[in-house]
Amino acid sequence: MANKPLTILVAGPDASATRAVEDGLAGAGGRDRIAVLHGFADLPARVAALAPDAVVAVLETLDAATLDGVFRLARSGACAVVLFADKAPPGAAAQAAEAGVAAFVLDGLHPARVRPILETALARFAAFETLKRERDEARTQLADRKLIERAKGILMQQKSLTEEAAYNALRKAAMKQGRRVADIAQSVITAAQIEL
């Protein structure tokens, strides 16, 4: 994080709201690319255009429409989202965490705190993305194993093969065709369903 220049989108209702964040980010020696957005209506389009590493949203009051837009952005996983707010209703922090906001700071916007909060949020976002990727890989592996087990069962029944021989047949077909064993297993299952 410290080695790579970051692209950061700072969003707030007006220039006075975003100034403290801009001042806090200015201490990076000018390496980071800082974009500023006044108003939240164009937030999704700006995020799509800039592909920022982080969005720092500054809200004086947490109105439902703006908060919903920030939460949608956080849920999308496009980038780390840091939310500074002057006031928040009860439960807002829990809602922010549930939505995937990497940092929620209430009544604590001081330029000297912006960079450490941003760095913590980026680290938390990266860790969470790693966990999501590992979860997705585990789900895929489990689904692949289920397909392979089902295909082995079909081969064992239709061809009178042992479990080991059925797996070896799947593996051999996969190597021969340059495909994954799970893909061959899906083909076996599909073929068996057509025959029924």
| Residue 90 to residue 105: CA distance in whole angstroms | 14
Q: Are 92 and 85 in contact (CB under 8 A)?
A: yes
CATH class for the domain made up of 136-195: mainly alpha
Phi, psi (rounded to 5 degrees) for 3: -85, -30
Least confident of 2-16, 22-36, 77-91: 22-36
- The b/e string for 97-111 (b: 16+ C-beta within 10 A; e otherwise) is eebbbbbbbeeebee
The per-residue pLDDT for range 34-55, each reduced to its tens digit, is 999 998 888 999 999 999 999 9
Phi, psi (rounded to 5 degrees) for 29: 75, 20
Q: Are strands 7-12 and 80-85 parallel, antiparallel or unpaired?
A: unpaired
Dig out the tokens for 123 from the structure.
């680290």
Residue 61 has pLDDT above 80, yes or no: no
Cα dihedral sign, 57-60-62-65? negative
State the average pLDDT over residues 143-157: 96
Angle between helix 111-159 and 15-25 (nearest 10): 80
Instruction: Name the CATH superfamily housing domain 7-109.
Output: Response regulator (3.40.50.2300)
Kind and range of the H or E run holding 36:
strand 33-38
pLDDT value of residue 31: 80
The per-residue pLDDT for range 93-135, each reduced to its tens digit, is 898 999 999 999 988 788 889 999 999 999 999 999 999 999 9
Neighbours of 181 (CB within 10 A): 19
Distances (CA, A) of 97 to 22, 101, 117: 24, 5, 15
pLDDT value of residue 60: 82
Residue 28 has pLDDT above 70, yes or no: no
Return the domain boundaries, the chain.
Answer: 7-109, 136-195
| Residue 2 to residue 128: CA distance in whole angstroms | 19
Q: Are 171 and 182 in contact (CB under 8 A)?
A: no
Q: Are 66 and 40 in contact (CB under 8 A)?
A: yes
Confidence class for position 62, pLDDT limits 50, 70, 90:
confident
* Cα angle for residues 6, 125, 136 (degrees, 5° grid): 125
